[in-house]
């Protein structure tokens, strides 16, 4: 018998931490903003055009001292760097970067006729801006002291099931998200030895505004659900939860991982 009870496990609390979540005004992003605030973090989140919604969410979750909505277009590396600068100006700190923003052109587009503009736009939003975000966040985190085994910070990239098995007629989206999977592994190899943990969450179909039109179409929905062993799309909290987990001490020995949240879909089809 042990002479004293075992220590309690690490907490899911993020008290004293500051996070930035891109694309935080709706869907997975908004659910993640809420969950990280519930965990005690100060949270900045970006939005593009939904000003009223973003400001209402920030006010609901504590106002400018605890939650800030930052309007920022994310298309270029410079845009990403500007958002990191704005976050540091707002809170004076950054411990967690969650890259959640992205675009998924909902219409089927054969590669043979895909316009250059669609390919370029998707990769600009889903990948080029990510470079600037990660670059600036990494520079800031590397300047912070590290205490023992406690990470300097966390970077979470939100990819997609499409990153791993592809998506017919959405090659632009699948290619951009596949790049995030590769980027996760590359950054982990580079940054884990320096105390920055980089991981990826890869959702499948999630019930959000972005997917609403496709899921409302009976034929498209039936086809999508047939590839998901659980037979339904995810709720946004079922994606936000794993993101929170990766920011806590419970995940302190995870780096370079692709956490699939897709109801088993990545193993089928």
pLDDT tens digits along 42-86: 999 999 999 999 999 999 999 999 999 999 999 999 999 999 999
- Spatial separation of the C-alpha atoms in residues 268 and 161, rounded to whole Å: 11
**96-99 and 67-71 beta bridge pairing:** unpaired
Alpha helices in the chain (DSSP H): 27-38, 51-60, 77-91, 116-123, 129-142, 162-165, 171-191, 209-216, 218-225, 237-246
Contacts of 12 (CB under 8 A, 6+ apart): 39, 244, 245, 248, 250
Measure the CA–CA gap between 244 and 62, rounded to whole angstroms: 19
pLDDT at 230: 82
Q: Which residue has the higher pLDDT, 269 or 41?
A: 41
Residue with tokens 């100060």: 42
The residues spanned by each domain of the chain are 18-142+150-209+236-258
- The residues annotated as belonging to the active site are 173
Better pLDDT: 211 or 200: 200
Tell me the pLDDT tens digit for each residue of 224-254. Answer: 776 778 878 889 999 999 999 999 999 999 9
Phi-psi sector, 261: left (phi>0), alpha (psi -120 to 50), beta = beta
CA distance 181 to 158: 9
The position carrying tokens 């993101």 is 243
CA separation for the pair 57, 148 (Å, rounded): 36
Compute the average pLDDT of residues 20-35. 96
Q: Number of H helices and number of E strands within the chain? A: 10, 7
Q: What does the buried/exposed string (b/e) look like for 226-261 if buried means 16 or more CB atoms within 10 Å of the residue's CB?
A: ebbeeeebbebebbbbbbbbbbbeebeebbbbbbbb
Q: pLDDT tens, 139-185?
A: 999 999 888 889 999 999 999 999 988 899 999 999 999 999 999 99
109 vs 227: which has the higher pLDDT: 109
User: What's the CA gap between 178 and 192, in Å, rounded?
Assistant: 21
CA distance 234 to 249: 25
Report the pLDDT value the prediction gives residue 226, as an integer from 0 to 100: 65
pLDDT at 1: 38
**What pLDDT is attached to residue 136?**
98
- The pLDDT of 199-208, averaged and rounded, is 89
When pLDDT is averaged across residues 195-202 and rounded to a whole number, the result is 97
List the CATH code of the domain at 18-142+150-209+236-258: 3.40.50.720
- Inform me whether the pLDDT recorded for 5 exceeds 60: no
% of the chain surpassing 90 pLDDT: 76
Q: Shortest CA distance to 18 belongs to which of 127, 111, 152, 126? A: 152
pLDDT at 190 over 80: yes
From the centroid of its chain, how far is CA 250? 18
CA 167 to chain centre: 20
- Average pLDDT for the chain: 91
pLDDT at 218: 73
pLDDT(2) > 60: no
List Cβ neighbours of 99 (8 Å cut-off, separation of 6 or more): 22, 130, 133, 134, 155, 156, 157, 158, 180
pTM of the entire predicted model: 0.91
């Amino acid at each position: 018998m042990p002479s004293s009870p075992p220590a309690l496990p690490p907490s899911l609390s993020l008290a004293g931490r500051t996070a930035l979540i891109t694309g935080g005004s709706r869907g997975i992003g908004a659910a993640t903003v809420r969950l990280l605030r519930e965990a005690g973090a100060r949270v900045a989140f970006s939005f593009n055009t939904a000003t009223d919604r973003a400001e209402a969410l920030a006010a609901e979750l504590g106002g400018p001292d605890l939650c800030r909505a930052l309007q920022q277009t994310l298309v270029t590396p410079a845009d990403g760097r500007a958002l990191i600068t704005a976050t540091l100006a707002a809170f004076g700190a950054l411990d967690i970067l969650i890259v959640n923003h992205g675009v998924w052109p909902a219409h089927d587009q054969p590669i043979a006729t895909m316009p250059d503009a669609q390919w370029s736009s998707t990769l600009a939003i889903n990948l080029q801006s990510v470079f600037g975000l990660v670059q600036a966040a990494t520079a800031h985190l590397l300047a912070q002291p590290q205490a023992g085994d406690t990470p300097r910070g966390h970077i979470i990239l939100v990819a997609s099931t499409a990153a791993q098995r592809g998506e017919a007629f959405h090659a632009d989206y699948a290619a951009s998200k596949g790049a995030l999977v590769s980027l996760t592994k590359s950054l982990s190899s580079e940054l884990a030895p320096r105390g920055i943990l980089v991981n990826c969450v890869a959702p499948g179909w999630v019930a959000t505004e972005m997917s609403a039109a496709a899921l409302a179409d009976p034929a498209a929905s039936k086809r999508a659900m047939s590839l998901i062993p659980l037979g339904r799309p995810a709720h946004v909290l079922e994606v936000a939860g794993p993101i929170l987990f990766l920011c806590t001490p419970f995940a302190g020995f995870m780096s370079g991982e692709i956490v699939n949240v897709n109801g088993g879909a990545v193993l089928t089809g």
